Structure 1
Amino acid sequence: MKHFLTGLLACLFFCSVACAQSVWVGVKGGVSIPNLKSSSSNPVSRGWSSIQGPYFGVVAAYKLSNFFYLQTELNYASQGGKKSGLQAISSKPYTSFFPPGTDVPKYFYAVFSNEVHLNYLELPVLIKLEYALNNQFGLFVNGGPYVGYLLSAKNLSSGKSNVYFDEQLTQPALPAPADFAATTNVINDINRFNVGVQGGLGVSLKLKNDSKFFLTAGGNYGFRPIQKDEANGQSNTGAATVILGYMLGF
């Protein structure tokens, strides 16, 4: 027991000394350029393009060796996408409006615009390799997994169109065009948790007061399809990011 306590105290001492000399903490902020990626043949998942949103958080890096760091972050991350034109709509929520025995197609089709805005709290754990070019500038690359928790999810639609039974828009389902202008809270249709990978490449600039600026270009990708119901599509989150940050060393 004595040897165990001695070893434990020695370990805590050396860890505290190492951390006191090789910990960096800071803040970062920038832009996220997300795009929903289709992960199935479901027509609802197709046709998304990129939008822009904020990306910011706090960061801590622990020096493991001359070149390697363990970096943890807590980020507010924008995800989502937009599309415009011909779109598929799941008929599942509307089947009760048809008489029993009616052959209702799996999807309806209409022409309108759509944006999905998803905001996550993400916790990445990264390994960072940093190489000093000189006393001021360094190059680094980082990568690792993250866990995300959905904070909000909204669907913004606009435009007027009839709703059709077929993709060729030859069989109208309504006597007149419908107005698609709406902002809908869809958080109950989206999985709250996601896991994925994050990575980046960047440069750092050391200052005289044991601090530094850094600029990172990177991206992330979520492994879990976001929709709870496959009828609403099967899409994965993914985004390119450009980040400027400041860290202080201790």
Structure 2
Amino acid sequence: MKIQNSFKWLLPAFLAFCGLKADAQQIDLGARGGISIPNLSSGGSDNNPLNTGYKSRLGPEFGIFGEYHVSKLFSIEAMINFSGQGGKKSGLQAVPVPADKAAALPPGTLYLYNDIKSEAKFNYLMVPILAKFGWDLGHSPLRLYVDAGPFVGFLLNAKQVISGTSATYLDPAGTVLIAPAMKLDQTVDIKDQLHKVNVGVAANVGLAYQFGRNNIFIEGGGNYGFLNIQKGTANGKNNIGAGTVVLGYAYRIKK
């Protein structure tokens, strides 16, 4: 009973704090698209050279959304986004020892080294639910907003794309040659090595131009996944994350 009484007071207090009005209900539907600038972070939790050294790559970012306006200040936005994730690295880097070569190598050899380009390309379907605050800029048609909230991401596909011609070395400094230069181009499907679901947070800041029931907007933001993407530890531990820049359009279906 005490808990119920507390909620009776907490909800009106929260609504009053946010300036919410029940009669201000409006609904927008829209689409957005742009670029994702993802990277893979290793967190420094282990010394596995397979998961370190990644830099940002470019990927797609697009989707649809619905926005429910609770008040002039506050709204709830739900999205379904296609999001490019991953990272890339180049230069002398570690590669797993092929099973058929392990017996011929010194005992305890875990990695070999090639001078190559390697790109991890992951695509996710992300479903964020965002709390959004917006402010009209005076009497102009411009509106500034910020939003943030959790997302659930579903892995659609994952590939490791390797390219380059290189000799193979036993050490990371490239001083012990064990095989002559050869072309190493290949694309490996690694989806089965990764968890199919991730959770994290997303946030954006944007500027919208409003005209009638329409608005167009530009926003920049980012997302970060809380869970390690690898199922095991053989390839290290990485987290996904990306910066995003998008353009979008929304139409108010209920006013």
Sequence identity percentage? 38
Query: Once the 2 structures are TM-superposed, how far is the Cα of residue 182 of structure 1 from its aligned partner?
Result: 1.0
Secondary structure at 2:55's aligned position in 1? coil
- 1:233 corresponds to: 236
> Does residue 37 in structure 1 map to residue 41 in structure 2?
yes
Among candidates 27, 30, 40, match of residue 26 of structure 1: 30
- 1:179 corresponds to: 183
Q: Distance in 1 between matches of 2:158 and 2:211?
A: 40
Q: Distance in 1 between matches of 2:103 and 2:148?
A: 54
Is the 1:69–1:127 Cα contact (8 Å) retained in structure 2?
A: yes
Q: Distance in 2 between matches of 1:160 and 1:43?
A: 20
Secondary structure at 2:178's aligned position in 1? coil
Among candidates 132, 136, 156, match of residue 151 of structure 1: 156
- 2:130 corresponds to: 126
Query: Once the 2 structures are TM-superposed, how far is the Cα of residue 129 of structure 1 from its aligned partner?
Result: 0.6
User: What is the identity, as a one-letter code, of the residue corresponding to 1:192?
Assistant: K
Q: Distance in 1 between matches of 2:195 and 2:23?
A: 37
Q: Distance in 1 between matches of 2:147 and 2:140?
A: 21
Query: Once the 2 structures are TM-superposed, how far is the Cα of residue 119 of structure 1 from its aligned partner?
Result: 0.6
1:24-68 residue CA offsets vs partner (Å, 9 max, x unmatched): 111111111111112233211221111112110001111122311
Query: Once the 2 structures are TM-superposed, how far is the Cα of residue 102 of structure 1 from its aligned partner?
Result: 5.5
Among candidates 66, 72, 76, match of residue 70 of structure 1: 76
- 1:49 corresponds to: 55
Is the 1:79–1:237 Cα contact (8 Å) retained in structure 2?
A: yes
Alignment RMSD (CA, Å) = 2.0
Query: Once the 2 structures are TM-superposed, how far is the Cα of residue 100 of structure 1 from its aligned partner?
Result: 9.4
Label 1:177 to 1:90 Cα distance change in 2 as closer, same or farther (>3 A): same
Map residues 1-250 of structure 1 onto 2, 5 A cutoff. Answer: 21-39=25-43, 40=45, 41-91=47-97, 94-95=98-99, 97-99=101-103, 103-133=107-137, 134-174=139-179, 176-208=180-212, 210-249=213-252, 250=254
Runs (5+) with no aligned partner, structure 1: 1-17
Runs (5+) with no aligned partner, structure 2: 1-21
1:95-148 residue CA offsets vs partner (Å, 9 max, x unmatched): 454339951322222211111111110000110010111351110000011010
Query: Once the 2 structures are TM-superposed, how far is the Cα of residue 164 of structure 1 from its aligned partner?
Result: 2.0
Query: Once the 2 structures are TM-superposed, how far is the Cα of residue 211 of structure 1 from its aligned partner?
Result: 1.6
Query: Once the 2 structures are TM-superposed, how far is the Cα of residue 83 of structure 1 from its aligned partner?
Result: 0.8
Q: Distance in 1 between matches of 2:231 and 2:215?
A: 42
User: What is the identity, as a one-letter code, of the residue corresponding to 1:136?
Assistant: P
Secondary structure at 2:234's aligned position in 1? helix
1:169-190 residue CA offsets vs partner (Å, 9 max, x unmatched): 222333x223211122111122
Is the 1:90–1:107 Cα contact (8 Å) retained in structure 2?
A: yes
Aligned residues: 229
4+ runs of 1 displaced by more than 6 Å?
none
User: What is the identity, as a one-letter code, of the residue corresponding to 2:215?
Assistant: K
Label 1:146 to 1:166 Cα distance change in 2 as closer, same or farther (>3 A): same
